[in-house]
Amino acid sequence: MRIAVINPNTTPSMTARIAGAAQAVAGSDTEILGRQSLCGPDAIEGPFDGALAVPGLLKAIVAAEAEGADAHVIACFDDTGLDAARAVATRPVVGIGEASFHAVTLLAHSFCVVTTLSRSAPVIEDNILRYGFDRRCRKVFASDIPVLALEDPKSGAFETISAFIEKGIAAGAEGVALGCAGMAGFARDLQARHGIPVVDGVSAAVGLAETLVRCGLLTAKTGVWSPPTRTQLLAAE
Amino acid sequence: MRIAVINPNTTPSMTARIAGAAQAVAGSDTEILGRQSLCGPDAIEGPFDGALAVPGLLKAIVAAEAEGADAHVIACFDDTGLDAARAVATRPVVGIGEASFHAVTLLAHSFCVVTTLSRSAPVIEDNILRYGFDRRCRKVFASDIPVLALEDPKSGAFETISAFIEKGIAAGAEGVALGCAGMAGFARDLQARHGIPVVDGVSAAVGLAETLVRCGLLTAKTGVWSPPTRTQLLAAE
Amino acid sequence: MRIAVINPNTTPSMTARIAGAAQAVAGSDTEILGRQSLCGPDAIEGPFDGALAVPGLLKAIVAAEAEGADAHVIACFDDTGLDAARAVATRPVVGIGEASFHAVTLLAHSFCVVTTLSRSAPVIEDNILRYGFDRRCRKVFASDIPVLALEDPKSGAFETISAFIEKGIAAGAEGVALGCAGMAGFARDLQARHGIPVVDGVSAAVGLAETLVRCGLLTAKTGVWSPPTRTQLLAAE
Amino acid sequence: MRIAVINPNTTPSMTARIAGAAQAVAGSDTEILGRQSLCGPDAIEGPFDGALAVPGLLKAIVAAEAEGADAHVIACFDDTGLDAARAVATRPVVGIGEASFHAVTLLAHSFCVVTTLSRSAPVIEDNILRYGFDRRCRKVFASDIPVLALEDPKSGAFETISAFIEKGIAAGAEGVALGCAGMAGFARDLQARHGIPVVDGVSAAVGLAETLVRCGLLTAKTGVWSPPTRTQLLAAE
Amino acid sequence: MRIAVINPNTTPSMTARIAGAAQAVAGSDTEILGRQSLCGPDAIEGPFDGALAVPGLLKAIVAAEAEGADAHVIACFDDTGLDAARAVATRPVVGIGEASFHAVTLLAHSFCVVTTLSRSAPVIEDNILRYGFDRRCRKVFASDIPVLALEDPKSGAFETISAFIEKGIAAGAEGVALGCAGMAGFARDLQARHGIPVVDGVSAAVGLAETLVRCGLLTAKTGVWSPPTRTQLLAAE
Amino acid sequence: MRIAVINPNTTPSMTARIAGAAQAVAGSDTEILGRQSLCGPDAIEGPFDGALAVPGLLKAIVAAEAEGADAHVIACFDDTGLDAARAVATRPVVGIGEASFHAVTLLAHSFCVVTTLSRSAPVIEDNILRYGFDRRCRKVFASDIPVLALEDPKSGAFETISAFIEKGIAAGAEGVALGCAGMAGFARDLQARHGIPVVDGVSAAVGLAETLVRCGLLTAKTGVWSPPTRTQLLAAE
C-alpha cells in the first residue's frame, strides 16, 4: 500500500527526515510517499502558522490521492487542518498528534507531552480535550526549542527534552508523547534512557494508517467530513 | 469606538445584512465597519470551507486594524479562524458562535442551537466543548437550510427554524442560539413566537466587543495568541 | 437604559465604590442605579453570609424594577442568590462572578481567580464548574485579604493580589479574574503591571447587561427561573 | 444518638410525615428530632422558595444543636442551604438529595430522579453535577405534582410517579431517587412494583447521618464550611 | 442484621483486624461476620493481585449468603471484584473504597487519598472517575508502605501517612480517605492530629451497608448486575 | 513478528474464528497465535463471567510469551483482565474493545456500539469513560443476541445488528464499533450496507499491536502495570 506522509510546512530537510522515520517503521509492503506543502510557512509555531499552512496541505492531499495514496499522515503535531483534510480526502487521514495520543494510552496509564513552543501547548491541549485524552494527560510541557533547531545536533535539544521528561515522570506520567514531528529521531534513545514508553507521532501514525487500510476502513462521509462542494478553491488559489 | 464586523465569506449581500444587524444593536458612539474576505469561499459550510476562508479573513483583520478598529467580530458561527485571528490582531476578537453561547447561558439554564447543514453541527459541538458549554447545550440541530437560502424569503427558512426550536423546547432547552450569521434577522420574531430567549450571535458579539473595549481589556499575548513571526505570509500569498 | 448594580451587603462605602466602577464603563446612554441590601451581612465571606444576604438582595431587585431598571447586576463575586434573583426579576440579571469568567475567557486561553478568603474559594470553584469554565481555570487563589480591608489603602492589598497573579502566571494562567467586587479599582493597574488581561467583574457585568438589553433579550421564564408563587414572603419578612 | 431531621418548609403535616419516615429506619438507639423552620415558605418549589427558606432553616439547625443533636438531616430534595448549614453547624449535616444519590449509586449503575415541578429539575441537575453523579444520572423527570398534593391520597401522585419510573427504565435507569421528601411513603411500594431499587432520601439520609456519627466523623472546618463570623444575624433577623 | 465483612486476601491477622474495626462502629443489633478468601493472594497490591483475588472473594460472598448475611462489605480499597460480587450476591454489596469516597464527600469539599503502593494509585483513580468523585479528589498519594507492614507498629506507617496528609492539606484537601483496609486503626488518631475528617473505609462501609438494609433496598438486578448464568464455575474451580 | 490473539473464553470454534479474522488483516510478516483460556467460562456475558475468565487468560498470556509472542490481543470486547494482563506480560497488550474505539474515532466524529447482552453494556460504558471516548460515543446498544448465537447463521444476528446500526445513525453516529469478537465476520458487509465505517475490534487490535511492536514500544512498567510479585499464584491455582 501507499501512505502519503505530508509535512505541512515547506522545509525540505524536515520532509526528508519525517519520510525516513516513516519508512523505518512501515510494513514491508508499504511505500511511503514523503510530500510537503508547496506554499505556506516554513515551520508551524502556533495557530497563525497552522491556519496558513492548511491550503497548501490540502493541495498536497489531493495530489497524493492522484498518486494513488491509500491513506495520509499529516506530519504536524498540532494536527493542523485535520478536519478539512478528512473532508477533501477520499482515503483515511491520520494526524501525528492524535496518533501519538492513541499509541501512548495503550502503553501508559497517564502521559505527558513535550512540545516545542509555549504558544503551541494550548493548541495541543485543545486537541487532547477534543479527542478525549484530557483525563490521561498530566501536562503539556513547552520546551521552548524552535522547530527548526531540532535538526541542529548542537542545539542541545535532546538533553532539554530529556529534562522535561524527568519533570513529567515526577508529575506522575508513565509515558511520553514527543510533541513535534522533528523530534522523531529522539524517541528510541529517550525511551532507553528513561525506561518508559516514548512515542514518536510519525511512527505511530504510519502504523495506524496501515491498520485502517488493512481493515478496509474509510472515513465517514455522512457527517462533518462529507465531501466539500467548493473544491475549485484549491485550484483557484 | 470602531468595531470591525468581518464576514469571512465573500458574499456581499450577506456582509451588508450582517453589518446592518450589528449597527442596530451597537451603542450610539460605536461605528460598525462591515467588512468581508477578499478571497475564499462564498459560504462556509463545514470545515473545508472554513479552513480556506481563514487566509482572507486574517487579511481583513489586519486591514481593519489599519482603519482603526478597536475590536473585531468574526461573523461566522463556526468561529472560523478565531485562534489565528487573535494571534495576528492587536485588539480583541469575538466570534459570533462563542458570543451567542455566552449570551444564551446568561438567560437560559440549558439551550439548543439551530444551525444550517449537518456537516457544520460537529464543528459547533467541538467548539461548545472547548468553550465549556457542553453541559448546558441539549442539542445542536442541523436544519439543512443552505447558508445562502437564508436570504431568500421564499425559502421557508423561518418556519423550518421555528420547528427545530419546538424540538429543542421538547428536549428541555430554555433558550436558543441561532447557528448562522444569516439568521440574524429572525431572532426577535422567533423569540416573540416561542416565548424563550433566542440569541443572534452578531448582536451578542457586538455587545461583547464593546464591553471588552470599554473595560480597557486586551487579548492575552503571552500564550497561544502571542504575535506570529510569519506575518509576511499574509502579504505574500 | 437603567442598570441596577446591587451590592448584596450592607456597607454603603462599598456600594458607592461599586457604582462608581460601573458608571465608569457604562455607555453614554446608560444610567447606573447603585443600590444595596437593606438588611443582611456587612460583607459576604463564605456560604453562610451569602445565604443570609439573599432575602435583602431579592427585595432590592424588586425595588429596582419598580424604579424602572432594565437589567440587574449582582455585585458579589460568589453570585449569591443569582438563581432566586433571576426567578423574581422580570429583567435580565448578571452576576459579577459569571461576568468576569465570560469576559476573561474571551481574552485568555486559561485564567486564574484571585479572591479574598479561603472559605470563599470553593464557592467560586462550584460556580465555575456549574457555568462550564472549570477546564479553563487553572486555580482559584485565596489571598486572605478581608473584604472590608480592600478599601484601606494601607492594607497592602494591591501588592498581595499582584503576588498571587504572579503565581497564577507561573501556573499557566494567561488572564485573571479579580474575585471580589471590592477589587474593582485595581484592575487596570494590575493589567498594566503584569501585561495580561485582568478583569473586574463589575465592569464586565455592566457590559454584559447592556448587551442583553440592547439585543432585546430576556431571562427564560419557562424553567428554573419561572416566576415564584410565594413573592409575598419578601414583604412579610 | 440524636438526629435532627429538619423540614425547611413550614408545613407541620409534612414535618410529621418526614419524622415518621426517619424514625422507621433509624437504629434502635437513635432518637429522631423532627423539626421545621419557624419562618419561610410552606413549600419549596424552585430556587426562590429555596433561598427564602434558608434563614429559618439555619435557626432550626442552631436550635437543634442546643437540644443535643449529633447530626442533622435537611429534608428538602434541593439540599437547600446545605453549605450554609454545614458552616453554622458543629455536627455533620446531610441533605436528602445528596443522600439519595449516594444510596442509589451503591445499588444501580445508572438512575433517574422523579421530582415534583419542572422549575426544580435544573436545581437538582446542578446539584448532581456538583456532587459528581452526572454521569450516572440518565434523567431528572419533573412530574408536575405540587409538593403539597403529595399528602392527598386522591391526587393520583403514586400512579403519576410510577409512570415516570417506567420512562426512566426505558431510558436505561436501573434505579430511582424519589425527588421530594413528601414522596417518602411511596418508596417501598414503587420498588415492589417496578423491581428496581427506589430510594427515599429521608431514609437514606438518616442512615448516612448515623454512619458519620458512629464513625466519629465531623464536617471539615478548615475550608468552605469554617465557622461564620456573622452568626449574630440569625438572632437579629 | 448480619453484615459479612470479607477480606479478599488470605491473611488471617488482617481479617481479624478488619472485623474488629467493623464491629466497633456497627449498630447494637448488627452482627459482623468477618470472613476471608479461601484461596488467592495474601495481599492485594495492584491489578494482578486484585484479579486473582476475585474467584476466592466470590466464593466467600456465596458462603456468607448461606450464613444469612443481609449485606456484604468487600474490605479491599481497590473495590476488587465489586461488579462480579454484585452480580452473584442477592443482597447489597459495598466496597470500602467507594464507601470512603461517599463518606468523605459528605464532610469535605475536597479530599485526598493516602494509599499504599504506587501501582495501586491508578486503580483507585480509575474507580474515583467511574464513581464520579474525580472533581472532588485533589490527589491519590502512594505512601509506599507495603500492605502487610501496616500491622507492624515499628514500621513507622502512622507517621508516614501523617506526612502525606500534610501534603494533601497543602494541596487543598479538607478531608482524607485512608486507602487501605489495614489503615483502619489509624483513622481517629490521624483525625485528632490533623483536625480534618479522616475516613476509614471499613467503618464507612459498615454504616452504608446497614443503611441499605434498614431502608429495605436491594441491588438492581435488571442490568449489569443481573444474576450470572455460569455460577457453576465457582464450585468447579 | 508474532501476535498472540487470546480468546478469554473456552469455546474453540470462537477461538478459530477470531484467529482467522486476525490473520486476514495481519501484515505478511506477522504470525498470529490463536490461543484460548484453558479454564473458565465458555462465553463472557457480564462482569461475573468476565472476572472468572481472568485467571485462565493470564495463564494463556504467560504461555504465549514462552512461545515468543511479541504482543498480545485480548479478544473480548469487555477488555476483561486488561490491567492484570498488562502487569504480567512483558510485551504490549491490546484489548479489542479499546482497539475498536481508537480506530473508529479516527474515522468518525461520533460512533455507536452494538454489543450482545444488556448486562454487558454498562461494562463497556465504564471502559469508554475510562479510556476517554465517552464524549464521542452516542450510545451503546444491547442487541440481546447471545454470544454463542453469533456463530449460527440462522440466528438472524446480521439483520439484528444492522437494525441497531440504523438506530445509531438516527442518533447521530457516523461510525460503528461491533461490540463482540464473535461479530468480526460481519464488519465489511455491514459497512457496505450502511455506508459508514464499521470496525471489528479483532482486526483493529491486530493492527495496533503490530504498530506498537514496529515502533519498538513497550508497556510502562513504572506504575500500575509494574511486574506483580505473586506470579506463583498462576501456577498454584
Give me the interface pTM, i.e. the ipTM: 0.96
- The β-bridge relationship of strands D31-36 and D198-200 is unpaired
Whether residue C213 sits in one domain with residue C129:
no
Whether residue E154 sits in one domain with residue E77:
no
| Residues 6+ away with beta carbon under 8 Å from C150 | C116, C157, C180, C182, C183
Whether residue C107 sits in one domain with residue C154:
yes
Positive or negative CA dihedral for F103, F105, F111, F116? positive
Q: Does F192 touch chain A (CB under 8 A)?
A: no
Residue F233 pLDDT: 85
Residue E2 pLDDT: 98
Nearest CA in chain A to F22: A215
**For range B22-50, the mean pLDDT:** 94
Q: Do E129 and A135 touch (CB under 8 A)?
A: yes
Cα–Cα nearest to F199, from A216, A3, A204 = A216
Mean pLDDT score of chain F, rounded to an integer?
95
Determine A/D contact with 3+ CB pairs under 8 A as the test: no
Residue D79 pLDDT: 98
Distance from CA of A106 to the nearest CA of F (A): 7
Residue D149 pLDDT: 86
The Cα–Cα gap between D170 and D162 comes to 13
Please, which residues bridge with residue B34 across strands? B5
Size of the C and D interface in Cβ pairs below 8 Å? 123
**pLDDT tens profile D60-91:** 999 999 999 999 999 999 999 999 999 999 99
Distance from CA of C94 to the nearest CA of E (A): 26
Mean pLDDT score of chain C, rounded to an integer?
95
Give residue A41's Cα distance to chain centre: 16
The answer to whether residue C38 scores a pLDDT higher than 90 is no
Nearest CA in chain F to B129: F135
Residue recorded with cell 449537518: B118
The Cα–Cα gap between C184 and B4 comes to 29
- Contact residues, chain E, for A135 at CB < 8 Å: 129, 134
Q: How far lies A67's CA from each of A33, A40, A81, B222, in Å?
A: 9, 22, 21, 43
Q: Do A217 and F197 touch (CB under 8 A)?
A: yes
Q: Tell me if E195 sits within 8 A of E176, measured CB to CB.
A: no
Q: Which subunits sit against F, judged by 3+ Cβ pairs under 8 A?
A: A, B, D, E
The answer to whether residue F216 scores a pLDDT higher than 90 is yes
Distance from CA of D12 to the nearest CA of F (A): 43
Whether residue F232 sits in one domain with residue F149:
no
Whether residue D228 sits in one domain with residue D150:
no
Amino acid letter for position E163? A
Residue C236 pLDDT: 56
The answer to whether residue B127 scores a pLDDT higher than 80 is yes
Residue A2 pLDDT: 98
Compare CB distances from A107 to F187, F207, F218 and report the shortest one's residue: F218
Which region among C63-67, C142-146, E192-196, F140-144 has the lowest average model confidence (pLDDT)?
C142-146
Size of the A and E interface in Cβ pairs below 8 Å? 4
Cα–Cα nearest to D81, from D114, D102, D57, D98 = D57
Whether residue B177 sits in one domain with residue B137:
yes
Probe site for chain B from F109, F110, F111, F169 (most B CB atoms < 10 A): F109
Distance from CA of D81 to the nearest CA of B (A): 20
What does chain A come to in residues?
237
Q: Which subunits sit against A, judged by 3+ Cβ pairs under 8 A?
A: B, C, E, F
- Contact residues, chain E, for F84 at CB < 8 Å: 47-48, 50-52
Mean pLDDT score of chain B, rounded to an integer?
95
Q: Which subunits sit against E, judged by 3+ Cβ pairs under 8 A?
A: A, C, D, F
- Contact residues, chain B, for A140 at CB < 8 Å: none
- At F236, the pLDDT band (50, 70, 90 cuts) reads low
User: What would the DSSP string read from start to end of A114-180?
Assistant: EES-TTTHHHHHHHHHHHT-TTTEEEEEE----GGGGG-GGG-HHHHHHHHHHHHHHTT-SEEEEES
Helix axes E47-66, F47-66, angle to 10 degrees: 140
Determine C/F contact with 3+ CB pairs under 8 A as the test: no
* Number of domains into which chain D is organized: 2
User: What would the DSSP string read from start to end of A36-104?
Assistant: E-SSS-SS--SHHHHHHHHHHHHHHHHHHHHTT-SEEEE--TT-TTHHHHHHH-SS-EEEHHHHHHHHH
Which region among C226-235, D157-166, F222-231 has the lowest average model confidence (pLDDT)?
C226-235
Q: Tell me if F128 sits within 8 A of F140, measured CB to CB.
A: yes
Q: Please, which residues 122-181 of chain C have a Cβ atom closer than 8 Å to chain A?
A: 135
Residue A236 pLDDT: 55
Q: Do C224 and D47 touch (CB under 8 A)?
A: yes
C112, containing H or E segment = strand C111-115
- Contact residues, chain B, for C1 at CB < 8 Å: none
Whether residue B149 sits in one domain with residue B75:
no
Q: Do E122 and A135 touch (CB under 8 A)?
A: no
The answer to whether residue D131 scores a pLDDT higher than 60 is yes
Say how many Å lie between the first and final Cα of chain B, rounded.
31
Q: Do A122 and C110 touch (CB under 8 A)?
A: yes
Q: Tell me if B191 sits within 8 A of B158, measured CB to CB.
A: no
**For range D138-165, the mean pLDDT:** 91
- At B153, the pLDDT band (50, 70, 90 cuts) reads confident
The Cα–Cα gap between E60 and E39 comes to 10
Q: Do A84 and B51 touch (CB under 8 A)?
A: yes
Cα–Cα nearest to A213, from A27, A36, A8 = A27
**pLDDT tens profile C185-233:** 899 999 999 999 999 999 999 999 999 999 999 999 999 999 999 988 8
- Contact residues, chain E, for F40 at CB < 8 Å: 233
Cell representation of residue B212: 471588552
The beta strands (E) that lie in chain E are given as: 2-7, 31-36, 71-74, 93-95, 111-115, 137-142, 175-179, 198-200
The Cα–Cα gap between E84 and D126 comes to 32
The Cα–Cα gap between E106 and B53 comes to 52
Whether residue B75 sits in one domain with residue B86:
yes
Nearest CA in chain A to F213: A25
Determine B/E contact with 3+ CB pairs under 8 A as the test: no
Q: Please, which residues 76-115 of chain C have a Cβ atom closer than 8 Å to chain B?
A: 92, 94, 98, 102-103, 105-110
Q: Do A102 and F102 touch (CB under 8 A)?
A: yes
Whether residue E191 sits in one domain with residue E162:
yes
Residue A38 pLDDT: 82
**pLDDT tens profile E96-140:** 999 999 999 999 999 999 999 999 999 999 999 999 999 999 999
The Cα–Cα gap between B88 and B77 comes to 20
Whether residue E80 sits in one domain with residue E54:
yes
Probe site for chain F from E44, E80, E224 (most F CB atoms < 10 A): E224
Distance from CA of C104 to the nearest CA of A (A): 16
Looking up residue A183, the CATH number of its domain turns out to be 3.40.50.12500
Q: Do A81 and B122 touch (CB under 8 A)?
A: no
Q: Do C122 and E135 touch (CB under 8 A)?
A: no
Nearest CA in chain E to C141: E172
Residues of chain A where predicted confidence (pLDDT) is lower than 50: 237
Residue E163 pLDDT: 98
- Contact residues, chain E, for D207 at CB < 8 Å: 207-208, 210-212, 214-215
Size of the A and C interface in Cβ pairs below 8 Å? 4
* Structural domain containing residue F222: 2-96+203-236
Nearest CA in chain B to A225: B119
Compare CB distances from A224 to B51, B86, B123 and report the shortest one's residue: B123
Burial of B94 (0-12, 13-18, 19+ CB in 10 A): buried
Q: Do C135 and A122 touch (CB under 8 A)?
A: no
Residue A92 pLDDT: 98
Distance from CA of A165 to the nearest CA of C (A): 18
Residue recorded with cell 424602572: C68
Q: Tell me if B108 sits within 8 A of B36, measured CB to CB.
A: no
Q: How far lies B104's CA from each of A44, B121, B165, B188, C210, in Å?
A: 35, 18, 14, 14, 14
- Note the helical H segments in D72-143: 82-88, 96-105, 121-131
Determine F/A contact with 3+ CB pairs under 8 A as the test: yes
The answer to whether residue F205 scores a pLDDT higher than 70 is yes
- Contact residues, chain F, for D110 at CB < 8 Å: 122
Distance from CA of B197 to the nearest CA of C (A): 6
Q: Tell me if C46 sits within 8 A of C118, measured CB to CB.
A: no
Q: Do C81 and D51 touch (CB under 8 A)?
A: yes
Give residue B224's Cα distance to chain centre: 21
Whether residue F166 sits in one domain with residue F82:
no
- Contact residues, chain E, for A110 at CB < 8 Å: 122
Whether residue D228 sits in one domain with residue D112:
no
- Contact residues, chain D, for C237 at CB < 8 Å: 39, 52
Q: How far lies F174's CA from each of A222, F139, F208, in Å?
A: 6, 12, 22
Strand-by-strand arrangement of the F111-115 sheet: F137-142, F111-115, F175-179, F198-200
